[in-house]
Amino acid sequence: MKSPVLELIKVSVHMGGELILEDVQLEVYQDDTIVIIGQSGSGKSVLLKMMAGVYPADEGIIRCHGREWKTLSDEERHSLARKIGVQFQKSALFDNLDAYDNVAFPLREHTSMSEAEIETRVLECLRAVGLEEAKHLAPHKMSGGMQQRLGIARAIALKPEILFLDDPTAGLDPVNADNMSEMILNLKKEVKTTLVVATHDIQRAYQFAGRIFLLANKHVIECGSATETQNSTDSRVQQFIHGWLKGPLTSNSENNKG
Ligand SMILES: Nc1ncnc2c1ncn2[C@@H]1O[C@H](COP(=O)(O)OP(=O)(O)OP(=O)(O)O)[C@@H](O)[C@H]1O
Ligand SMILES: [Mg+2]
């Protein structure tokens, strides 16, 4: 049987003293396209960062390529991190570097490539996201969509085996959001990577049409494919996908009072 490239076993985590995720159990396999959905503040970014080794779990086990993040030495962690690419929400770009140097950064940091090899790879990545012409532009001079694309170009620079994208269509108008989704799906085909995307937009989740994980009440509900999600008999899933104000997801909130 295939072993998972990401595995979470009974994972719980607190942030700022609050329990955010509890007893999360999931597996991701090579070439999977996983979409993490949930309401704003439900813990999508926290979950994605835990999978990528950025945040440790308070309880439970998080394995990436069979290695448990928290047992690794700095050197082992560095070499595992080389196999993954992360586009953080709000992109976390270096504002003092132009687009070219933002993408070159991980290559200079993690490889011994020559400047000529780096140039080839940087231009490939910028081309893949349609930013070749903007290579000398600083991030703060770019539109939100361009910044998102630059974040993705930097995340794919090292040809990652697992690519994490945190809300890649956030803040984009519907046309640009559609273009972005299409570009990501094309990239996934070209780069042949395992893809984990966080979004609060159920239509995007269907568009990516891999396996969907819904975050609800601190737990992860695995919903299956887009069709399986739509046909789910779980009332939490139905409430989320239809955007109903009342239901089990909001049973303790103001929305359900009165
Ligand atoms: N570094 C942190 N310190 C303290 N609390 C945090 C931290 N990061 C996240 N949180 C809290 O954890 C909860 C989950 O946050 P997270 O950013 O994962 O939500 P999200 O589902 O990604 O939301 P959004 O759709 O708005 O991006 C929130 O209550 C947030 O305030
Ligand atoms: Mg988030």
Residue 115 located in a structural domain: no
The answer to the question of residue 31 being in a domain is yes
Q: 140-182 pLDDT, tens per residue?
A: 999 888 898 899 999 999 999 999 999 988 877 888 888 888 8
d(CA 248, CA 234): 10
Is 139 inside any structural domain?
no
Residue nearest to atom 26 of ligand 1 (CA): 40
240 in a structural domain? yes
Mutate which of 14, 35, 44 to test ligand 1's pocket (most atoms within 8 Å of Cβ)? 44
Domain annotation covers residue 146: no
Q: How far is the CA of 132 from the centre of ligand 1 (A)?
A: 33
Q: Name the pLDDT band for 256 (thresholds 50, 70, 90).
A: very low
Is the distance from the beta carbon of residue 174 to the nearest atom of ligand 1 less than 6 Å?
no
Q: How many domains does the chain have?
A: 1
pLDDT digits (tens, 9 = 90+) for 238-250: 998 888 888 888 8
Between 108 and 175, the more confident residue is 108
State if residue 40 touches ligand 1 by the CB under 6 angstroms criterion: yes
Write the residue with the smallest CA distance to atom 2 of ligand 1: 15
Assess if residue 229 is contained within a domain: yes
Structural domain range at position 22: 1-71+195-258
What is the model's pLDDT at position 252?
Answer: 66
What is the rounded distance in angstroms from the CA atom of residue 68 to the CA atom of residue 72?
Answer: 7
At 251, which CATH number?
3.40.50.300
For the CA of 37, the nearest ligand: 1
Distance between Cα 86 and ligand 2 center (Å) = 13
C-alpha of residue 204 to centroid of ligand 2, in Å: 15
Identify whether the C-beta of residue 21 lies closer than 8 Å to the C-beta of residue 13.
Answer: yes
In this structure, is residue 78 part of a structural domain? no
For residue 1, the model assigns a pLDDT of 65
Query: What's the pLDDT band for 61 if we cut at 50, 70, 90?
Result: very high
> For residue 23, how far is its CA from the centre of ligand 1 (angstroms)?
17
- Over 90: is that where the pLDDT of 202 sits? no
> Rounded mean pLDDT of 75-90?
89
Residue nearest to atom 14 of ligand 1 (CA): 43
Contact 48, 155 (CB under 8 A): no
Q: What is the pLDDT of residue 25?
A: 94
The protein residue with its alpha carbon nearest to ligand 1, atom 30, reads 41
Whether ligand 1 lies within 6 angstroms of the CB of 15 is answered as: yes
Sheet holding 6-15, edge to edge: 18-28, 6-15, 59-64, 67-68
Distance 44 CA to ligand 1 centre (A): 8
* 3 state DSSP class of 60: strand
Residue pLDDT, tens place only, 48-58: 999 999 999 99
- 168 occurs within a structural domain: no
Residue 90 has pLDDT above 70, yes or no: yes
Indicate the pTM of the whole model. Answer: 0.91
Tokens representing 65? 């390529």
Which atom of ligand 1 is nearest the CA belonging to 215?
A: 21
